[in-house]
Structure 1
Amino acid sequence: MKQERDNAIALISFLVSERKILRSHIANLNRPDTPAQRLYARVGLHEGCPDFIVGAARTAYRKALHPDRKPERHRVEAERRFKEAEGAFEEIKRLRSR
């Protein structure tokens, strides 16, 4: 009985460590590798998405982040985030027009 319990504990410990390793590998698979992939990931897009998706995402970001739609106390941060998103979309546009 004790041997079975010890074997079960050892198996569970092994499986927990394997799960940790697999989660690490999965996280690395989803990590963008190239600068272009990182750029698209900043705005939640995939490098191969169609142009109309990029346009729709840009419109959605503009509506959500525009500083004029925020309370006065949040406008400085909203403007920073808006400009950051606009810069990313401009860079995507430049990359796609090559």
Structure 2
Amino acid sequence: MSQINLQLSDGTIRPCAADLAVVAVTAGGATKTVTFNNVKKIQVVKSVSITNSSNVRRGASGAVTFDTNVLTIADASFANGDTIVAEVIGYN
């Protein structure tokens, strides 16, 4: 787990947890979930990318949503061999 400092609009600094997940896709499908163990409540999804077996990177074609520490990624063309790389910021 890493920690970042988040500056609020009033100028105060608050420490927040940041977590990065690299998840291999082992079966195709339209929706995948990623659970972040080092962040109890996701506040911001910093980035999500999908890399295929030829190292071509793209974004998700559908919605990226979260609830507590679980990120749900909708994509019409997940394939076996893809890799999901997601980074979030939240509270621990």
Q: TM-score, normalized by length of structure 1? A: 0.19
State the structure with bigger RCO (CA 8 A, min sep 6), 1 or 2.
2
Query: By percentage of residues, which structure has more strand?
Result: 2
Greater CA radius of gyration, 1 or 2? 1
Q: TM-score, normalized by length of structure 2? A: 0.20
